Structure 1
Amino acid sequence: MESLYNELRIEIFKFVDTPISLALTNKKWYAISQDPQSRADWLIFKYGHAHALFHAVRLGNSFLTSEVLHSLLSKNAIISRYFIQRLLMHFGPYDEKLIELKIEHNVNQVDFDRIRAFQKKLSSPWASNLPLPIFTKLITAGYNILNDENLVIKGNDMELFHFLSAGPLVINQAPQKLFQNLADIKDLIINKKFVPFPPRPKPAHEDTVEYIQLMQSRAHEEYPPKDGYENSRQLNVIARAILIYPDLVTLWKEIGYYEICSDVNDLVMQGALLILFPPTPPADWERPDTKIVVKRLKQLINLGFKLTASVMEEALHLFEHKLNEIGDVLLESFQIIHKKKSKSAIASLCLIQAIKPERSHRKTDLLEFLNDRIDQPEKAMKNALECYKVGFRYNTFSIKKIKIRSLSVHSNLYYWILKKFGPNSEATQKCFEDIMESRIWIDLKSQEILEREIPDHLTRCAFNAICSIYLEFCNERIPFKANYLQYLTLVNNEEIIRPLFEISLPNLFGLELKCNSYKIDYEYNRPEIDNNENNKRKYTDMNEQPEHPDRSGWIRLLEDLQTLVNNNTDITETFRNNFEKFLERITSSQNQEINEEVCPKRLKQ
């Protein structure tokens, strides 16, 4: 019976994303996590036969033992000539003493900075700290499995594939050259087991200095990358070859590389559309109709590629400047392929991808295009915002402890939503909650170190975006809700508090506004928004709100807040002063309607 339990545990173990979390639960799971067969099964199940060895090496010598390697090879994990070549490129540590001496004796400041930067990137490149016995066993296995005593290990099969597939030639001239080299390409795949390394996972977008530095370093990284992953330039070589000769997919699947379609899915599908709609069309080019687009996409889908929401949105984004010409052709083609979905549903799926944080929305053509083709645009936008958790994320205690709280999506999107749907829209309110929490987080960090304007890690650009969009929303008289108050009592910055007491609450209680708008001193650049009369009419009904919908809630809150202000030391002095000034205004108001609703005696106590 115990043997059966162990088999079940091994089977369950395969499905765990991070085995360490399961291994720490008890001794039995720990024993399973140490079992070579379990580790090999987990690698193959998670990464496939083609990439199992790459990830085994990446996970390091604490994971890849001689027994695990033996188990992987016995389960037919693919070992290619390219894998051996890359292993030899990366194996072994760098001579840090030599690097230090070069830095010490180098008089060229440019070289000094370059070498120092290089030294910082030396932390365990892929395969560099592989134990010698494992390295030797991998090399030996490569020779044995590939059955080639004259194995060309001082080469680079990715570069070889690039030339064989006519990579240096323009796409119109490439097919002829590729077909001339087809026998060599087949030999490279079938006999040398050529498989590109897996694509690098995309890091989650952050408005941090570290994220910007990471993306800049990747944009200018040397080949092959130190982390071992294949970069997009090399994967584009693979995708381009597939578009010229789709049967390459079948060849790769024959050797067990079933992940080929998922590895280059987006590149292949986008590449197909770029060939159909070239950026610089030749003189004899004719615009493809829906039938031609659908036929080409279905050919690729039959091979195993997928027309995902990401692919569809990326295609529309790619042709954003041509949406008036080809946008509807693309959308109709997508709808024909996804028969069960309406155009509105497809546009809604694309909208989720279109508002991802890394999009700057300097142009809003795509947003306008999708918005005009969605049946219920505000509802679709609310759903899209929920996918990125736009709104309040933290309570008044946890917000003080988090490392960074920036905007969930780009401030230009919030600006577009504000202008498109108006300040009373539920989608706009969600955006304002997200903006407010980010702005308050900045203030809390500045209270910790008074001389620090921008919190650590946050970029100057993100700081300006948060501060400016907050004031832009306030200038549009966005209503402050009663639940905002618990956050605002923590604030020390007049710029954050004043809009509540000088615009929002006076507007709610019918008092004269002492300030109509605030000057914005932060650098920012907003897109032009097309707010024509049709748009205004479209959202008029949606933005109509009951008169003073939140007044009664605010009255109760203000009544209770007076006692809290006098007794709670966590409330900032800035908030107290602004609250007392407003309290004096409202209790001395000559507005009969307010006097009937507000209990002056209680407020004045």
Structure 2
Amino acid sequence: MRYPENWVNTKPGLDQVVKKLSSLTSLEFKLTDALIGDALILFEHKFRNIGDILINAFTIVTKRDILSICLRELLNPERTFNHYDLFEFVINVIDKPEEKILFQLEEYAIENPMMDVFQDNNGLIPQACTILKYPSIMYEYMLVKFGTKSRVTRYLMKEIITAHIGKAKLIKFYPSLASSVLMDFRWQELDYIFNTYCMAGVPFEPEFLPLVKTCPSDTVIKCLFDGYLSRLFGFKVEFTLSRVDQLPIFNIIPFTHREHNASSEANKEKVEWLNAINCNQYEPITDTFRRHLEKFRSRLRLNLI
């Protein structure tokens, strides 16, 4: 199935596309999930104009829930895409998109499973665990679409932080594996997304504190104490990241969340962080972490006086 060069003016109708697909299936050409995913990527730059036709045609011919297949294929980390129109179209027409995106992210184990390796400093850290699993535009789009406090964005932040710490540990403990043009590019991409999420105020989760305690990267620890926690507790933010380019302009419909009591949620998060900081005080920590922790505790004490 191929569109003519002047596809804008000769946009095929639904019946025409259904006929094409039906003729292929009659020749025992199977419309597998992977093939549907390939079609999405093939037409990603045209999806805003022809997405409804493709989706409806696939639904008619296969008699399946094509939208779920589309979302699953789009979130497959083995796929590469360059435009956000695919996500925007599918997310806008499915029910409970945040829940379904989270389900697929968990199915693909996007949150890095290598935390224990990072914490113990044992074994070789796979390079694949030190880079992002998606193109940077996906992280940018999800941040703009769902906002800094959404469950989707917070889930992705866990992947970003873990990969960043994995990178720092790989460079420190296995420097011979850390030099290649490809890895330098992927790490620059990781640094950019990490900086973008931090500057936007996407929360650090207390559960990641044991991992941060052993992080050799001064940047991650400063982002936590001098950036995120300082902002959360109302202290003067004394840390700025390297320049973060302005996010691309996305022509999208922002996802609307239910109203929450921001003050109540902030207070709850403060309590969770104080508990995390005061628990397991005898765990191994880096000198950098100890220095920033002591400084943060001093600021807490001064704030209580």
TM-score calculated relative to the size of structure 1: 0.45
Equivalent residue pairs, number: 298
Pick the aligned partner of 2:147 from 396, 409, 422: 422
In structure 2, relative to structure 1, the CA distance for the partners of 1:364 and 1:500 (3 Å cut) is same
Q: Which residue does 2:19 correspond to in 1?
A: 295
Q: Which residue does 1:279 correspond to in 2?
A: 5
Contact 1:396-1:486 at 8 Å conserved across structures: no
Q: Which residue does 1:555 correspond to in 2?
A: 274
In structure 2, relative to structure 1, the CA distance for the partners of 1:308 and 1:526 (3 Å cut) is farther
Q: Which residue does 1:403 correspond to in 2?
A: 126
Summarize deviations over 1:144-179 as a string: whole Å, max 9, x none.
xxxxxxxxxxxxxxxxxxxxxxxxxxxxxxxxxxxx
Q: CA deviation at 1:281?
A: 5.6
Summarize deviations over 1:8-52 as a string: whole Å, max 9, x none.
xxxxxxxxxxxxxxxxxxxxxxxxxxxxxxxxxxxxxxxxxxxxx
Q: CA deviation at 1:307?
A: 1.8
- Partners of 2:226 and 2:181 lie apart in 1 by 33
- Partners of 1:376 and 1:544 lie apart in 2 by 22
Q: Does the residue aligned with 2:195 lie in a helix, a strand or coil?
A: helix
Q: CA RMSD in A?
A: 2.9
Contact 2:112-2:159 at 8 Å conserved across structures: yes
After the TM superposition, which residues 84-483 of structure 1 pair with which residues of structure 2 at under 5 Å, given as runs?
273-274=1-2, 277-280=3-6, 286-341=10-65, 346-357=66-77, 359-397=79-117, 400=121, 401=123, 402-404=125-127, 405=129, 406-448=131-173, 454=178, 459-483=183-207
Pair 1:576-2:300 in alignment: no
In structure 2, relative to structure 1, the CA distance for the partners of 1:364 and 1:542 (3 Å cut) is farther
- Partners of 1:525 and 1:315 lie apart in 2 by 31
Pair 1:509-2:223 in alignment: no
Deviates more, 1:357-366 or 1:380-389: 357-366
Q: CA deviation at 1:280?
A: 4.5
Q: CA deviation at 1:455?
A: 5.3
In structure 2, relative to structure 1, the CA distance for the partners of 1:543 and 1:350 (3 Å cut) is farther
Q: Which amino acid aligns with 1:553?
A: E
- Per chain length, whose mean CA-contact separation is higher, i.e. which structure has more relative contact order (CA < 8 Å, sep 6+)? 2
Q: Which residue does 1:539 correspond to in 2?
A: 256
Q: CA deviation at 1:486?
A: 0.6
Q: Name the larger-Rg structure.
A: 1
- Partners of 1:576 and 1:455 lie apart in 2 by 30
Q: CA deviation at 1:513?
A: 2.6
Q: CA deviation at 1:473?
A: 0.8
Q: Which amino acid aligns with 1:540?
A: H
Contact 1:445-1:455 at 8 Å conserved across structures: no
Contact 1:454-1:463 at 8 Å conserved across structures: no
Contact 2:118-2:166 at 8 Å conserved across structures: no
Q: Which residue does 1:493 correspond to in 2?
A: 217
Q: CA deviation at 1:421?
A: 0.8
Q: CA deviation at 1:429?
A: 1.3
Summarize deviations over 1:491-512 as a string: whole Å, max 9, x none.
1222111111122222332333
Q: Does the residue aligned with 1:485 lie in a helix, a strand or coil?
A: helix
Q: CA deviation at 1:525?
A: 9.8
Q: Which residue does 1:117 correspond to in 2?
A: none
Deviates more, 1:397-406 or 1:538-547: 538-547
TM-score calculated relative to the size of structure 2: 0.85
Contact 2:25-2:31 at 8 Å conserved across structures: yes
Q: Does the residue aligned with 1:362 lie in a helix, a strand or coil?
A: coil
- Partners of 2:161 and 2:217 lie apart in 1 by 13
- Partners of 1:544 and 1:518 lie apart in 2 by 29
Q: Does the residue aligned with 2:202 lie in a helix, a strand or coil?
A: coil
Q: Does the residue aligned with 2:201 lie in a helix, a strand or coil?
A: coil
In structure 2, relative to structure 1, the CA distance for the partners of 1:528 and 1:360 (3 Å cut) is farther
- Partners of 1:527 and 1:359 lie apart in 2 by 21
- Partners of 1:514 and 1:384 lie apart in 2 by 37
In structure 2, relative to structure 1, the CA distance for the partners of 1:351 and 1:542 (3 Å cut) is farther
In structure 2, relative to structure 1, the CA distance for the partners of 1:408 and 1:587 (3 Å cut) is same
- Partners of 2:139 and 2:261 lie apart in 1 by 20
- Partners of 1:542 and 1:411 lie apart in 2 by 29
In structure 2, relative to structure 1, the CA distance for the partners of 1:578 and 1:415 (3 Å cut) is same
Q: CA deviation at 1:407?
A: 1.8
- Partners of 1:398 and 1:574 lie apart in 2 by 17
Summarize deviations over 1:160-216 as a string: whole Å, max 9, x none.
xxxxxxxxxxxxxxxxxxxxxxxxxxxxxxxxxxxxxxxxxxxxxxxxxxxxxxxxx
Q: Which amino acid aligns with 1:577?
A: R
Q: Which residue does 1:585 correspond to in 2?
A: 299
% same residue: 27
In structure 2, relative to structure 1, the CA distance for the partners of 1:281 and 1:427 (3 Å cut) is closer
Summarize deviations over 1:308-352 as a string: whole Å, max 9, x none.
2222232232222322332211111112123353xxxx2232122
Contact 2:84-2:137 at 8 Å conserved across structures: no
- Partners of 1:381 and 1:462 lie apart in 2 by 24
Contact 1:412-1:526 at 8 Å conserved across structures: no
Gaps of 5+ in 1: 1-272, 596-605
Contact 1:289-1:329 at 8 Å conserved across structures: yes
Contact 2:115-2:162 at 8 Å conserved across structures: no
Q: Does the residue aligned with 2:116 lie in a helix, a strand or coil?
A: coil
- Partners of 2:36 and 2:174 lie apart in 1 by 46
Gaps of 5+ in 2: none
Summarize deviations over 1:460-498 as a string: whole Å, max 9, x none.
111111122111111111111111101101112221111
In structure 2, relative to structure 1, the CA distance for the partners of 1:453 and 1:302 (3 Å cut) is closer
Summarize deviations over 1:66-89 as a string: whole Å, max 9, x none.
xxxxxxxxxxxxxxxxxxxxxxxx
- Partners of 2:144 and 2:41 lie apart in 1 by 21
Q: Which residue does 2:241 correspond to in 1?
A: 518
Q: CA deviation at 1:542?
A: 7.2
Q: CA deviation at 1:575?
A: 0.5
In structure 2, relative to structure 1, the CA distance for the partners of 1:323 and 1:298 (3 Å cut) is same
- Partners of 2:227 and 2:10 lie apart in 1 by 57
Contact 1:294-1:333 at 8 Å conserved across structures: yes
Q: CA deviation at 1:393?
A: 0.5
Q: Which amino acid aligns with 1:583?
A: R
Summarize deviations over 1:514-564 as a string: whole Å, max 9, x none.
34x42248xx89654235xx52xx323278765223322222222235x42
- Partners of 1:583 and 1:471 lie apart in 2 by 25
Contact 1:391-1:433 at 8 Å conserved across structures: yes
- Partners of 2:194 and 2:92 lie apart in 1 by 27
